[in-house]
Amino acid sequence: MRHLIIYEMIEAVHRYGSIRKAAEDCNITSSALNRRIQAFEAEFGSEIFERVPQGMRLNAAGELLLQFIRQQQHELSRVNSQVADLSGVRRGHVKIACSQALIPYFLPYEISKYRSEFPDVTFSVNVRDRIEAEQALLNFESDIALVFEPAHMVTFEIIHAVHQPVTAVMSADHPLAHRETLRLRECIEYDLVLPAKQFGVRMLLEAAASRLGRKLEPVLETESFDMVRHFPAYSQAIGFQIPVGLNRSARTDMAYVPISEKDVSGGELYLGHLKGRALPVAALKFANQVAAALSN
């Protein structure tokens, strides 16, 4: 869309904080870009950048405009996907922000399944914690989010929610491996592998431990859910994960035992999008498929 290229230029200037650097990115000279920005500001009726000795910084009006630009680009891509839909071919791009837990099994499977039906739909997947995920929706960086226990859900419109008990991960020969459910106090006797503090699973475990009057002292704390899942294979340590991040049939050398809801109440995995914003056709169809998958 050549007539909207000025928007991309504005975004570039904002990103680089410098006309000269942004100009390089736009394959244009700085003078040309400079004049386009100036012409735009004149038309817009107000400056959108603050000129500081270090370069360009968006002012309040610019922030407002940037919000508009992103929304507008999102709407345009939605219209495009609807138009593509009209001609029978289902094309489009789905942008997903999700928790790490969805990465190993759930999303790869669901995306493959969707693409087997609509091969012209492409995807982008960004791992975001529950705070960043909401930001991604607001920035129009993502169409839909799939997050465990989101922090504040004011702008988050829920498509589907599913309960996820916190589940202990251990090697198949662990003393507790044969149990149906576990109490938290039993787990604490072993070495613990916990996700970092910003994650929902950790938050639920901490809350439960403090109710027991105990403190969690992990031998390994990590931001990688893969580490939490795989470390217990090589020791008697116990990791924690939510069921959607586990695949019982994949590894017979591991055991997955849910923690009793009496101790740890579990949390909700939410599938949602930005409130008041219509989804592109492809994103909507994919969201429906995911919602159906989560229901089982």
Partner DNA sequence: GTGCTGTGCTGCATAATTTGCAGCGTGACC
Partner DNA sequence: GGTCACGCTGCAAATTATGCAGCACAGCAC
Is 154 a residue that touches its own copies (CB under 8 A)?
A: no
**Which one of the spans 73-81, 169-177, 211-219, 288-296 is the region binding its own copies (CB under 8 A)?**
73-81
Is 44 a residue that touches its own copies (CB under 8 A)?
A: yes
Terminal-residue alpha carbon distance, the chain: 42
* Closer residue to its own copies, CB minimum distance, 61 or 293: 61
Radius of gyration of the chain (CA): 23
Q: Tell me the C-alpha distance between 242 and 245, whole Å.
A: 6
Residue 7 beta carbon to its own copies: minimum distance, rounded to whole angstroms: 9
Pick from 18, 82, 222, 247: which binds its own copies (CB under 8 A)? 82
Residue 69 beta carbon to DNA: minimum distance, rounded to whole angstroms: 18
- Whole-angstrom CA distances from 167 to 158, 240, 295 are 24, 5, 18
**Subset of 245-284 contacting its own copies (CB under 8 A):** 276
Residue 29 beta carbon to DNA: minimum distance, rounded to whole angstroms: 3
Residue 295 beta carbon to its own copies: minimum distance, rounded to whole angstroms: 27
**Which one of the spans 2-10, 93-101, 182-190, 195-203 is the region binding its own copies (CB under 8 A)?**
2-10
Q: Are strands 121-127 and 92-98 parallel, antiparallel or unpaired?
A: parallel
Task: Output the DSSP codes for 145-190.
Answer: EEEES-S--TTEEEEEEEEE--EEEEETTSTTTT-SSB-HHHHTTS
* Closer residue to DNA, CB minimum distance, 38 or 67: 38
Q: Tell me the C-alpha distance between 27 and 113, whole Å.
A: 39
Catalog residues that contact DNA under the rule CB under 7 A.
Answer: 2, 13, 18-21, 27-32, 34-39, 51, 53-56
